[in-house]
Each structure stands twice: as C-alpha cells, then as structure tokens.
C-alpha cells in the first residue's frame, strides 16, 4: 500500500497528506520519508510527529438522524447527514446505508464500506427495519391483518409481510411499532395511506442488528462498538 493511502485519514485531502509527507513529518521504521508513493505494510512502524499511525480503512457510524436533513452525501439545497459530521469522520468519505425521508428521524448507519452497504441493502437478505409511527387514526383488527400480510401500494406493488404492534391508542390517533424488511420509497406512509391513515411522525429505532442508542439526541452520532460491528457482520454472512 502507498504511504499516502496508509496515512490518508490524517488529512482532509490526498493533496494535503502528500504535503505533510514531503515536509518530512512522517517517518517509517524510524526514518523520515518524503516519498508519498513508498510501499508500506501493517508491519512497518509509521509515525506522524512522533505518534504511531494505525491504518483504518473503514468507519461505521450510528446517527440519530433529525428531521429536515437529507440522507445523502451532497445536496445543493438541503443540509445532509454528512454535513453533521466532524472533519475527522468526513475524511473517510462515509455515505448513508439506504435512506430515511427528510421528515423521518432515527437510526441511520453511515459507512465507507461499500460491500457491507450492498449486502445490507440487498433485497434477498430481507434485513429488518423497525419504526415508531404516530398516525391519525386507529387500525382495526382486519386492517392490521391486511397490513401484516402485505399491502398493494398505489403503483400496484405488493409489499412483503410486515409486523404491526400497537404501542398506544386513543380515539382518533395511535402509535405503532412497524417492522418491514424492504425499503420502498415512502413505504410506511404509503402502506398506512392505503387504509386512509396519515403518518404524523416516523422514527426508525432498529436496523439489521442495530438498535438506536437512546443516549443519542437528534443529530448526534457515534462510531459503532466492536460488539455492534461484529453482530452486524454476522447478519451479512
């Protein structure tokens, strides 16, 4: 691996890390090196200003996405989830795994691991996603059964079986836990719409093996723990 790639996470750009190297701030096995293209391995001792550099290829981030933010890496008009991250995370060039609607809150996984993202989003894997939905109405027993068996949407597509569990109900409003295993455009809103119900609030609380960290406020994030990463990779096997 090239030295500039090994140390890329130390700077905001490849150009900047090459300047750091050419300025003699990087040493390899105790010797100052100014050649950005030098081939190095994990066995080499690479230091930046006297501190050892550990190579990191991938990053995995759990975010509690707030409403009003787009699940994208760039948008010319709206703030994106990437805009919420600090420089040290942006250096890894993460992207959202799937998307949440702009007005939907909750658990969003961000990573730069393309293979992992592809596996988690593959329709064949039927990765579960759990949401809390506040709707303007109450589902009858018959409607719940139809909802769970699969709903024919406005475009003729029939959704896969889902789970619908009441959390709180009153005369004209209700809160449900909704678990689906696919991610069609505005899917949950469209599923409830087929029963004449409008979604007033939607928050994702689980994705694959991950559960939203309750200590994360809207817009906050953290890297996955090693245990969370291990469980996530088991799902992808």
Per-residue confidence (pLDDT) for residue 18, from 0 to 100: 94
pLDDT of residue 56: 86
What sign has the CA pseudo-torsion 30, 34, 38, 40? positive
Q: The whole model's pTM is what?
A: 0.88
CA distances from 142 to 18, 113, 149, 174 (A): 65, 42, 11, 16
Q: What is the pLDDT of residue 159?
A: 98
Which domains, from first to last, does the chain contain? 3-52 (3.10.290.10), 60-123+209-236 (3.30.70.580), 128-207 (3.30.70.1560)
pLDDT band at 116 (very low <50, low <70, confident <90, very high): very high
Q: Is the pLDDT of residue 9 over 90?
A: no
The confidence band for 32, taking pLDDT boundaries of 50, 70 and 90, is very high
Across the chain, mean pLDDT equals 95
Q: Which structure tokens are listed for 76?
A: 């010319």
The set of catalytic residues is: 101
Helix locations, 2-41, DSSP H? 3-6, 14-22
**What average pLDDT does range 79-87 have in this prediction?**
97
How many other CB atoms are found less than 10 A from the CB of residue 166? 12
């Amino acid at each position: 691996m090239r030295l500039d790639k090994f140390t890329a996470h130390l700077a905001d750009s490849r150009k900047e890390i090459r300047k750091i190297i050419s300025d003699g701030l990087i040493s390899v096995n105790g010797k100052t090196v100014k050649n950005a293209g030098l081939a190095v391995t994990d066995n080499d001792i690479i230091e930046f200003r006297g501190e050892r550099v550990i190579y990191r290829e991938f990053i995995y981030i759990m975010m509690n996405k707030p409403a009003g933010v787009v699940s994208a890496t760039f948008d010319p008009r709206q703030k994106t989830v990437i805009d919420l991250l600090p420089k040290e995370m942006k250096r890894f060039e993460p992207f959202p795994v799937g998307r949440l609607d702009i007005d939907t809150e909750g658990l969003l996984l961000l990573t730069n691991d393309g293979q992992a993202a592809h596996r988690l989003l593959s329709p064949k894997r039927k990765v579960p996603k759990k949401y809390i939905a506040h709707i303007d109405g109450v589902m009858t027993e018959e409607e719940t059964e139809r909802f769970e068996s699969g709903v024919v949407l406005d475009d003729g597509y029939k959704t896969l079986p889902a789970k619908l569990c009441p959390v709180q109900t009153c005369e004209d409003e209700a809160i449900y836990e909704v678990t689906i295993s696919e991610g069609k455009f505005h899917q949950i809103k469209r599923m409830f719409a087929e029963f004449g119900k409008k979604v007033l609030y939607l928050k994702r609380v689980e994705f694959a093996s991950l559960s939203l960290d309750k200590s994360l406020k809207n817009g906050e994030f953290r890297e996955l723990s090693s245990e969370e990463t291990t469980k996530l990779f088991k799902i992808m096997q």
